[in-house]
A and B are shown apart, each in its own frame.
Chain A
């Protein structure tokens, strides 16, 4: 009953003291507060509520981490298997991110869901930078965006440069057929001299490297191979199949685009899950810390109110006697 009295008292006093300020300050510097207030401080109820919600948050983030870890395991296998797919193309056609072309298309791969750390911002930052690097007197760059998060960020300042946006990619497992249909759509809707795909390559669970892969259109490949340089050796290759070299080159570049896209999307998905794992991990650790601080505050509040109660009773009794 004494406790109930204490609670009623504190509730009466509550409106007088600004609750949010006192709660916050209670958490930050509980020692000073108890001495300074001099009244029965804030009820333990509020702190208890707060503790319950923080504990729930911790449970949720831990669960999300587990889910992300299991998804990562599944998709990492596929990503590693697909790595063999783009290597022959790089071996054959070389890697030419510095090629100077008129029509650039920047394909930004991002995620649909959030809570995955900084990978989407990194991709968008690199895409914007590539846009800047390739801006020139007669050169233009357009965006093709995969994923909601990239779209949300790029809409803000590059609205007029966007050509195509694709979302809802991860409803089923990522597979080659899906990505090749997407690649086909991009090829049909966009004119390009060079495609630059920006994605986060998955190196390990804690490290994601922003990468850009360049795919050239068949005409540019011919131009570069005639000019010598990296792809200069293409001429020394005999062509089997098809009537003309340019026909086979066209098929080759289309196939290259779809293979490189496939690997890029898989790597980005791996990076997304990995980033989400570490984000959720740090979030649950943070929630744990917060919970510790709240527990301390709760205990102090509780003990302080008991002490105050007791001292009142005792002084009351002493007054009666004496």
Chain B
């Protein structure tokens, strides 16, 4: 069996004295659609933020295996503080110094993770196409003078990027909006554009934070199709946070349930739907004693 795409073990996140996440461990299988659910404030988005390099985890390991034989330690990519042992080991010291100086969230994206946000964060004053081009800058010619003189390499890279941008606009049914300002698009399309932008970075795993929030039922059904399409046609592993349980149960193969910063249950949709602890977390209980574990 191949290694899991993402392995989270012992993840703890503290904000001052508040423990938002407490010793979380779970795995996301390669090529799966997995969901992270839980009541409000359970810490779902915090997990996302740690996985995508938005926050630096306080403790724990997040290991990413975008391809067989490739592995990244996400906190390390962000730059960790020096450890005592580094001062007698110049190689470890050098490596840590390198990531301290040149590390950052962009390294996580380049390793193959991309994400969308619960509150849409498009570049509102850029057109839809430009939003998608920005996401592809890794594949672009970076020298600004090459752009001024329009070198062959620059033009080819630019053409490829535009092609890819239109490919994703088509895939998410946004072609007509290509040259509109992202901030002016209707809400549902902004959500789709954000997914398209995340896909343009060429991820191996995409993290969708409440992709169905604010969508009407037909848009939600369309979204479910699109998420399946991402996995089936493009081989991307999907990890999503969602409150729409019918959507979660319909598309995901593996579900992790969080409550108060801890994993309370993990498994297939059937197992989750019938788990007493999950039901208790969602519906609440009249008295502690009623839950018999």
Q: Do A and B come from one complex?
A: no
- Residue positions of A touching B, CB distance < 8 A: none
